[in-house]
Amino acid sequence: MEPSLNTRGTLQRVTNNIRIASLGAVLAASLLLAAGAEAKAPPGGVDLCGASGDCVNVPVQDAETNWALWSPPSQSDSSRTSAVAPFLLARWQWPDQPMQTAYYVPSTGKTRQTDSTGFLVSWFKLQNAESVRALAASIGAYPIPTVTRVTVGGRPVADPQSYLKLFAVGSPWWSPSWPRWLGVRFTSQAPSPWTDGREDVRIGRTGRLLWVDGSTFRIPLQLARRIRAGRSLGS
């Protein structure tokens, strides 16, 4: 039955209110993120911890310069996803707040931050990467993850470990139109910045576009075809 004019009007008002509320929530979140990026570093600095549990402290002054160690995620400041490499955990705490953590990759000088829901993910580049790398040099890092399973469009691939190369291939590319995507899902023996379920990797159903954590890259067509076919990406 066709809804009455009054019913349609009510539905339209409800829809508009939802849109306004959603826009307000997005704006509020953006303001909070911007404020976080300008805030002072955690009063206890930031601890960088390795696989054995050993930690070193990045003092407040150094943490101020390297805000990427503790800042909340922000799409406007995000850099490209780090290539896969051994990594450390960054830990810090605000007064009367629970401990917070992020991933830090010394070889690339990048961190991966997520919000409390895990919905917003950002990779940041440290401002003074060399000083932090030197400070953490004595800490034994977590190893490159051992990938046990990868699926493309729900289908398991051969040689799952070789699919880690997807985080460091291709050239940044902007396209006026997007293809339909096939999701690439990773499973590993232990969580990592690339395999903890918060990564977002997709390959176009056709063509040569690859999506990684919110950015699009143009890759060789032959490689794109191998990904879609689930073949090994090893040399």
Residue 177: per-residue pLDDT: 83
Q: What is the pLDDT of residues 68-83, one digit of tens each?
A: 999 999 877 789 999 9
Sheet with 100-105, edge to edge strand ranges: 55-58, 46-49, 88-92, 100-105, 110-114, 121-125
- pLDDT above 70 for 205: yes
- pLDDT above 50 for 17: no
pLDDT band for position 235 (cuts 50, 70, 90): low
Q: What is the pLDDT of residues 116-174, one digit of tens each?
A: 887 889 999 999 999 999 999 999 999 999 999 999 999 999 999 999 999 999 999 98
Please state the φ and ψ torsions of residue 210, each to the nearest 5 degrees: -120, 135
182's tokens: 């096939």
pLDDT band for position 39 (cuts 50, 70, 90): low
Output the CA–CA distances (angstroms, integers) from residue 87 to 9, 84, 92, in the order listed. Answer: 55, 9, 17
